[in-house]
Amino acid sequence: MADCIFCKIIAGEIPSTKVYEDDVCLAFRDIAPQAPTHILVIPKQHIASVAEITAENSNVVAHIFEKIAQIAKAEGLEEDGYRVVSNCGDAAGQTVHHLHFHILGGKTLTLTMA
């Protein structure tokens, strides 16, 4: 989608530090990390937010969660634990309107997002 930062990252028009990639999703390091490990996992298909997950595209989300578990393990987060967050809409503070899941770990997390 035009003017979507994350679609541009997928297209390689904006550089990112990639952690994992396949045909369905991309994982890369957040540009402004809020924890020692802060990774974003996004679908390659433009879905605006959790609010746009449907029966037709939820297979993508299931795939992403499978990869989140693998990525967290590969990053050494599994033993101590980690947080998976998706901000949906303005009140939640969603700033990029392309579905993304934050993986946050590497420290003891508070009850705020990070």
Q: Which residues bind Zn ion (CB under 5 A)?
A: 1, 4, 6-7, 46, 98
Does 100 participate in catalysis according to the annotation?
yes
Which candidate, 49, 82, 44, 76, places its Cα nearest to that of 63? 44
Partner whose footprint covers residue 4, from Zn ion, ligand 5GP, none (CB < 5 to 8 Å by kind): Zn ion
Mask for 92-111, x = binds ligand 5GP (CB under 6 A): -xxxx---------------
In contact, 96 and 6? CB cutoff 8 Å: yes
Q: How far is CA 1 from CA 10, 22, 48, 65, in A?
A: 11, 19, 10, 23
Of the residues 4, 5, 50, 114, which one makes contact with ligand 5GP according to CB under 6 A = 5
- What length is written for the chain? 114
**Following CA atoms 69, 74, 76, 78 in sequence, which dihedral angle do they give, to the nearest 10 degrees?**
20
Partner whose footprint covers residue 98, from ligand 5GP, Zn ion, none (CB < 5 to 8 Å by kind): Zn ion
Footprint of ligand 5GP on this chain (CB under 6 A)?
Answer: 5, 14, 16, 28-32, 40, 87, 93-96
Active-site residues, by number, are: 100
